[in-house]
Structure 1
Amino acid sequence: LGDSTAIDPTNHLETLEPKPQDQEEEEVDIDLEAPETEKAALAIQNQFRRFQKKKK
């Protein structure tokens, strides 16, 4: 069990590295002044705050 068959916990990091992309990423144009954007941002922030409170 202590030989080379042991699981290396750092091995999973290889899959998290960004892979080179052959195509350019699509640029998303978001209107930061739109009321829908503000509502969405507030909803995300509220959910995050609830998550942080629950985490404590």
Structure 2
Amino acid sequence: MSELNTKTPPAANQASDPEEKGKPGSIKKAEEEEEIDIDLTAPETEKAALAIQGKFRRFQKRKKDSSS
């Protein structure tokens, strides 16, 4: 079995304190972003978006029905 090691310090690029986020040496937002090249007009993209939206709406409906 593997055990969690809770004594390891956070990585150098992770801010352990909210005040450290603005300090130099923290990850810049521009470095975190990846450029994604998706053709939003492609028929496959539209089909995938409709499928995802439909599943999400069904999930929300079930969630609402079970909490009522």
TM range (shorter): 0.5 to 0.7
Calculate percent identity across the aligned residue pairs.
73
Q: 2:57 aligns with which of 42, 49, 53?
A: 49
Structure 2: which 5+ residue stretches go unaligned?
1-15
After TM superposition, the score normalised by the length of structure 1 is 0.56
State the alpha-carbon separation in 2 of the partners of residues 50 and 41 from structure 1.
Answer: 14
Structure 1: which 5+ residue stretches go unaligned?
1-14
Aligned length, in residue pairs = 40
Regions of 4+ moved over 3 Å: none
State the alpha-carbon separation in 2 of the partners of residues 34 and 21 from structure 1.
Answer: 34
> 1:37 maps to which residue?
45
Q: Which has the higher contact order (CA 8 A, sep 6+)?
A: 2
